[in-house]
Structure 1
Amino acid sequence: MVSLGEFSRVVSSIYAAAITPVHWEVALRDIRRVLGSEQAGLFVDDPSWSVGNSTLPGEAAASYAQYYHRFDHVFAAVEHGLVGDIRTGTELMPLVRRSELHDWLRPLGIDDGLFVRLTDGARPVCLLTGAARGDEAFGTRDRIRLTGELVGHLQQALRAREQLAALADRTGELAAALEVIRHGVGIVAADHLMIDHNSAAERILRREDGLALRSGRITATTAHAEEKLHCALAQALGAGLCAVRRGTTLTCVRPSGRRPYIVHVLPSYRSSGEQPRRPMALVLIVDPEDKPVPPAVLLRKLYGLTRAEAEIAIRVTDGAHLKDISQELSISLPTVRTHLQHAFDKTGTHRQADLVHLLLALSP
C-alpha cells in the first residue's frame, strides 16, 4: 500500500518532468519504485516504436529502436486499444513469448507488467511498467488502481510538455524573425513591460542614451521624451482613456548630442493558446546614426554588379569621395567613374544620391 506522501512525491516528480524534460527519468524511477516493477518507460510511435524516456539502460533502448521494435506485438495491441485503458502482462505477454523481442525483454527483467496508451493521435505515447514473472501476476488490483490514479497526471504532464515545446518553438521563431531586422525592435505589454526584443534593441537600451530598460520597462531618459513615449504606448495598447488603439511616431532626444532616435509605436497582439488575444505594442527604434552598408554579395546577386562595381558602390554609400576611392583601390579616377556609371546603369539609378538611397533600402 502506497502512502499519501509517497503518492504526492511521485505526482510532483511527474509535473517537474513536464517543465524540465530531463526529469522524466526521475519520475519514471519513482513510478517504478511505488509499483515495485523492474523497469518503467514511455514508448513513442514516431513513425515506429522507440523508447522516449525510461529507466532502461541506454544500449537496450538503442537496440530496441534499431531492431527489436519490429517484433513488438504488445505495443501494437496497446496502440489499437482505448486511451487510458490499462492492459496487463497476463493478457499481452503471450503475444511475444516466442518472438525475438522476448530475447530482449528477458535480461531486462520484463516478462510481465502493465501497459497504458496515454495519448491519442498519430504519435501515441504509451507507458510500460515491466516486471519479472512471479508466482502472482504483476497486475494486481492495487497496482492497477494505483496506475489508474497516475494516468491522469501523466496525461496532463504530457499535454503540458507539448504546449511548452510549442511555445518554445514559437518564441524561437519570433526571436529569429526579430534578429533579421537591423533596427531595434521590442514587444511591450501592459505597464510598459518589455517582453521580447532583438539584439539591436538590447544595444540601444544598454547605452541609456535617450532610451533605457528600467525594472523590465522601456523608458526615455529625459522627462519630455518619457511623456511622449508614455502617451504613445497608451495609445497603442488602448490603455486609460485611449479606447481606439493607434500607432504613433516620435523622436527621442539623446543626451549624448547624437541625432535623436526615431521611435515608431504600433498596436499589435499576442495570442497564448486558447486564451484571448492580449494587446501588445510593437516598438521600432531607428537610429539615424546607423548607416548599414549592404554586402557586396547581395549587390552582385540582385543587380549583376561586378566585384569592383559593387565595392565602389558600397564605398560611395559610406560617403567616400571618388578621388579617395581611386587612391584606396589603386585604380585611376576615370576607371572609378566608369565602374560607378556601370553601377548606375545596372541598378536603374542616375546619380550618387539615388544609388545611396537604393542601397540603404536593401538592408532590412
Structure 2
Amino acid sequence: MDVGSLQQVLAAVASQIDARYAVFALGDRQSGGIHYQVSSPGDLRAESLLSPSWMNLVLDQDPGRFYRHGEIPGNAFALSQLNGARDVFDFQGGLYGSFLLKKSGFGYLAFCRAPGSPRFSDEDRGLLESLLPHVRQAIEINRQLQERSVLHDVMQERFDQLSTGVVLLDQSGRVVFSNAWARRLFREPGGINCEDGRLVVAATEQNDKLDQLIEHCIRTAHMKGVINDGYLSVSRGAQNKPPLAVSVSSYVGNLESMTLLARQSCVMLLLFDVERRRTARRYVLEELYNLTESEAMLATNLASGKTIKELAETNCMSRETLRSQLKRVFQKTNTNRQSDLVKLVLSGPGSLPI
C-alpha cells in the first residue's frame, strides 16, 4: 500500500526465495506502456528483465500463475534479445508471472538467481503464486484510494467556490468538513456558528430544532424509505439580515461497503444566504458565446439584478445603445427575453462566484 516501501517489499520476497534479481511493473496492455516499475537491486541489470518482447510473452500466458522460462512459447527468441544481460543472471531458470487489473491494466513480476545457482523449486513457485492475489488486491485498493484522493481534492476546491455553505457531520454530530462560505458564516456574530466542532445556533428554540434534525438524520441514515431530511430558518439577530435557510439531510458514503469498519453515517447541511448574489465571470461568457467584453459585462450586470436604466445612468450611456448591445447578446446566446438570458448566465459555468 505504501509506494515508498515497494522496493523493500520486493527485496524481502526475493530474499525469501534466494533470488538475486527481481522486478515489479504496472502497465497497460492496450498501449503497451509501463507506468510504474521497481527493481531489486535498483540498477539496469535487474531492469533487463523488463524486456518488452519477453513481457509480452509472459502476458500471453494465463494470469495468476508463475512460469519457468521453458514453459513459455517463444522463449528462445526472447532470450536472444537480452544480449549480454543473460550473463548477469540465470534468465532461463527464472520465474515470471502476471495478473490483470481493471480496464486494460496488468502487473508483471520476474525473479532470477545468479548464474550457477540452483533453479527455483516448486515450493518457491507455490509461494509466489500464493502472493499474487494479495499483490493484485493491494494494487486495486491503492488505485481506488488514489482516485478518491483526486476526487476529494477536486470536490473540495469546487465546494470552496460555491456561494452556498456546505457542512458535513460525522455520526457523533461533529463537523468533519466545511467549505469557505460556511466558515465565513461561522465567523459572523449571531446566526449559526461552530464551537468545539459542533454547530450552535444563537436562538435557543432554533438550536433545539437543529439538534433534533441532526439526531434524526443520524439515526435514520441507513433506513430505506425513511424521510431523513429537514429544513430550518436561522435568524441572524442584531445583524438585521435576512435569515439563513438551512437544509439538513443524511449522507452515507459508499466506501463503507468496502471496509470492515463500523458504518459511519454522515449529515450534510446546506446554508443558503439570500444576501449573496451569484456573480458571473465575464471571460467565461466571452468564450462560451463569443461575446465582446462590453456584451459580456452587460449580460453579467443584468444577471446580478441591474436594469437597463440603472446601467445607462451609471455608465453614462444611452438606453438605445444598451438595447442594441442586448439584441446582439440575444442573438449570440440564442435567447429572446431578458429573463431567459439571466437564467442562462446564472445556470452556466460562468456563474461560479469569484
Structure 2 residue 243 is matched with structure 1 residue 260: yes
Contact 2:20 2:113 survives alignment (8 Å):
yes
| Letter matched to residue 38 of structure 2 | S
1:339 to 319, 322, 325: 322
Contact 1:79 1:124 survives alignment (8 Å):
no
Structure 2 match to 1:87:
67
1:229 to 210, 220, 237: 210
Cα deviation digits, residues 237-278 of structure 1 (max 9, x gap): 4549x9932432222234671443221223444322745997
Structure 2 residue 19 is matched with structure 1 residue 33: no
Aligned-partner Cα distance in 2 for 1:342–1:98: 71
Q: 1:29 to 1:319 in 2, by over 3 A?
A: same
> If the length of structure 1 is used for normalisation, what is the TM-score?
0.69
Cα deviation digits, residues 72-103 of structure 1 (max 9, x gap): 1x6524641351x3323465598146645322
Secondary structure of the residue that 2:226 maps to in structure 1?
A: coil
Structure 2 residue 266 is matched with structure 1 residue 284: no
Deviation at 1:339, TM superposition (A): 0.4
Cα deviation digits, residues 85-125 of structure 1 (max 9, x gap): 33234655981466453227437635232223344664331
Q: How does 1:194-205 map to 2 (within 5 A)?
A: 194-205=175-186
Answer with 293-302 or 315-324: which moved more: 315-324
Q: How does 1:133-152 map to 2 (within 5 A)?
A: 133-137=115-119, 139-140=120-121, 143-144=124-125, 146-148=127-129, 150-152=131-133
| Letter matched to residue 35 of structure 1 | I
Structure 1 match to 2:96:
115
Aligned-partner Cα distance in 1 for 2:343–2:77: 76
Structure 2 residue 252 is matched with structure 1 residue 272: no
Aligned-partner Cα distance in 2 for 1:338–1:299: 20
2:109 to 117, 127, 135: 127
1:182 to 150, 163, 177: 163
Deviation at 1:286, TM superposition (A): 1.4
Structure 2 match to 1:11:
none
Could you say what the CA RMSD is over the residues aligned between the two structures, in angstroms?
4.4
Identity %: 17
Aligned-partner Cα distance in 1 for 2:28–2:196: 45
Deviation at 1:163, TM superposition (A): 3.6
Q: How does 1:69-108 map to 2 (within 5 A)?
A: 69=52, 71-72=53-54, 76-77=57-58, 79-83=60-64, 85-89=65-69, 91=71, 95-96=75-76, 99-103=79-83, 105-106=85-86
Aligned pairs, how many? 334
Contact 2:96 2:110 survives alignment (8 Å):
yes
Cα deviation digits, residues 165-213 of structure 1 (max 9, x gap): 3443554564466456331223434222444454433444465763344
Aligned-partner Cα distance in 2 for 1:136–1:61: 19
Structure 2 match to 1:53:
37
Structure 2 match to 1:15:
none
> If the length of structure 2 is used for normalisation, what is the TM-score?
0.71
Contact 2:89 2:114 survives alignment (8 Å):
yes
Q: 1:106 to 1:226 in 2, by over 3 A?
A: farther
Structure 2 match to 1:6:
none
Q: 1:218 to 1:21 in 2, by over 3 A?
A: farther
Secondary structure of the residue that 2:82 maps to in structure 1?
A: helix
